[in-house]
Amino acid sequence: MKSARWLAFALSVCFLGEDGETREALWHQTYPFAPDASFASDVAFTAGGQIVLAADGGVIGIAVRTGVTAWMRPGASPRLALSPDGTIFTVEIRGGAVAAARLGAGGNTVWEVLTRDTGLPAGARLDSIGGAAADARGLFVLVNATRPSLGGGPLSTLACLAFDADTGRPRWTAPLAIPGASSHFGACVMAPGEGRVFAAGRAYVFGQNFNTMVFCIAADAGTVLWRDSFDGFGGDDEIVPGGLAPAPGGGLYTLAASAGIDAGAETRIDRLDAGGKRLWATRFRSPDGPTAPAALRHADNGRVYAAGAAGAARSGKHLFAIACDGRDGRIAWSASWRGDGGSSGAAALAVGPRSLFAVGWAGSCDFLTCMAPACLSFDLETGALGETYVGESLPAGGRFSAAAFHRDGLFAAAGVRYGAHLFTGSLEALLFTELDQRCFIRADANSDGRINLADASAVLAYLFGGGELTCLDAADVDDDGHVNLTDPIRLLLYLFSVGRQPPPPFPVCGPDATHDLLPCAAAPACPSPGCP
C-alpha cells in the first residue's frame, strides 16, 4: 500500500453559530511531523504558553499566540499527562519497556526512565499504555500486557506503575486483577490529588461476560485499597468502560455502556465514594437508539457530563450529550445532534465556564473514510446547542478525538484526517478563541475598576513582596505574555503622560485579543463570567 507523508497542522476554520456568526481561528499553520500516524490521543494547554499534541507518531509543542512550532518529539503512541502546575509527562512502550519522561518548557528532556519492572509474571509482554495521569508528586501509568496462560495461549493482564515527578525514580508497581477474571484490559487512569489513584478497564469473568472494573490505589505506597467489578443492569450485560472523572470528597464518577440481551445499549454513570461504595447509578437510553458513550467530565457547577454516539444504523447515528446532577444522578438534560451528512458522534469533551464542548465526527456513515471532523458547544445549564463546526469530508474522512479548554477563552481540538488510503493522511488540530472568556481591564491590576498608582504598586508587590493578583492578564500591562518589571514601568509612563496607553482591553472591560494563557481567576470590576 502506498503511504503518504503525515503532517500536523492547525486549520483556518471557524465555529458557525445559530445566528450565522462566524468565529475565525486564531492562526493556521502546517507542521511537518511524523512519517506515520493514525490517531490523536491527547491535546493540552501547558503552563509555558504552548499547546501540546500527542499522536501515535510522537508529540509536538505549538506556541499559542502564533501557531509556530516550538518543538517536536518523535515517539511510539505516547500518552500525555499534565500535573496541576502544568508540567508535561509522556509515556510510551519502547523496546518492550515502559519509557516515561518529564519535559521542560521547550520540549527538552528533564528526565527519562526506561523500565521493564511492572510486577507482572515473567514472560509478560508489554503491549500498550492504557492511560497516564500526574499529580504534584508522581506520574502514574496504566500498562496493558499479555502473559502466557496455563494452556499456552496469551491472556491480557494489567499493571499500574508510579514514578517520582521530580526525579523519575520508579516508586512502585501494582499488578491489577479482579478475582475470578481471566482477562483484564485497562482503559483509563486518574490521579485526582486526594492521595489516591483510580484505574478502570474491562475484565472477563467466566459466566458473566465482560464487566467494568475499577481499582483504587494508594498513591504513596501502590497498595490496592479496594476494587470493584460490576455488570449491567440486567445481570448478564456486557459492560464497556468509557471514562473516569473525579467526584467531591475523594470519590469518582465512572462511565460505561451496558449492552443487554435485547441488543440495546444504555449509557451508565455511577458515583462511588472514597471507600468504593456506590452512591447512585444512572442509566440513559437515547430515543435515537443504542448509545456508545465515549467521554466523561465533571464541572464546577456540580454536574457530570457525558457524550458519545447513539443509533443502530451506521449511516444514522446521532451525537448525544447528557448532564447529571452529581449529588443524586438525576438527568438534568439530554441533547442530540446529527450533521447533514447523516451520521455523527462524540469522542472527547472539554468544559468551559458556560459551555460544554464536544468533538467527534459527522458524515455519511460512521466509517473512517466518510467522516468529517466536528466540534459543537452546548449550554452547561440547559443543554441548548450553541455553535457548531463541521469540516470537509472529501477526498477522505476525518474525525476529532481529543479536546481541551483553557480559561483564557481558548478551545483546541485534535484528530485525524485520513488520506486516499486508510490510515494515510494528516493529523489535524484546530484552535478557537474568545469562547467563555473572562472580561477584564488591562492595567487594572488590583481589580477595583480604576487605573491609578495603586495598580502599579499591586504589580510591584506581586513581583517583590509576595502579593497576590487575581487576574494576571490584567497585570500584563504591555501584553507581552509575562508579568514582570516592564509592566509597572509601562503603566507609570502612561499615568504621567509620557507613554502610550495599554493595549486592549482598555479602558473598559473586554476579552484578551492576544492569548498567552495568563490566568484571570476573578476580575470584580467586570462581573460577567464570560465576554460577549
For 439-532, CATH number out of 3.30.70.3000, 1.10.1330.10, 3.40.50.740, 3.40.50.300 equals 1.10.1330.10
Place of cell 446529527: 338
CA 320 to each of CA 140, 232, 358, 361, 362: distance values in angstroms, whole numbers, following the listed order: 31, 21, 9, 12, 12
**473 in Cβ contact with 484 (< 8 Å):** no
Cβ-based neighbours of 99, under 8 Å, separated by 6 or more: 91, 92, 93, 112, 113, 114
The 8-class DSSP code of residue 491 comes to H
Give yes or no for a contact between 477 and 471, defined as CB atoms under 8 angstroms apart. Answer: no
pLDDT value, residue 115: 94
Class for domain 80-285, per CATH? Answer: mainly beta
| Strand blocks (E) in 104-148 | 109-115, 125-134, 138-148
Low-confidence stretches of the chain (pLDDT < 70) are: 1-38, 150-153, 180, 205-209, 231-242, 259-264, 313-315, 341, 364-370, 392-397, 408, 417-437, 515, 528-532
For 246-299, what is each residue's pLDDT tens digit? 998 888 999 888 765 445 578 889 999 999 999 999 988 888 877 888 889 999
What pLDDT score does 429 carry?
A: 66
Check: CB of residue 222 under 8 Å from CB of residue 264: no
> Residue 333's pLDDT is what?
96
d(CA 270, CA 243): 11
Tell me, letter by letter, the H, E, C secondary structure of 348-417.
EEEECCCEEEEEEEEECCCCHHHEEEEEEEEECCCCCEEEEEECCCCCCCEEEEEEEEECCCEEEEEEEE
Per DSSP, the three-state class of 114 is strand
Q: Quote the CA–CA distance of 146 and 261 in Å, as a whole number.
A: 30
Domain 1-35+291-436: top CATH class: mainly beta
Measure the CA–CA gap between 269 and 286, rounded to whole angstroms. Answer: 14
pLDDT for the residue numbered 5: 29
Quote the CA–CA distance of 439 and 434 in Å, as a whole number.
10
| Joined grid coordinates for residue 513 | 485579543
| pTM score | 0.81
Domain coordinates in residue numbering, the chain: 1-35+291-436, 80-285, 439-532
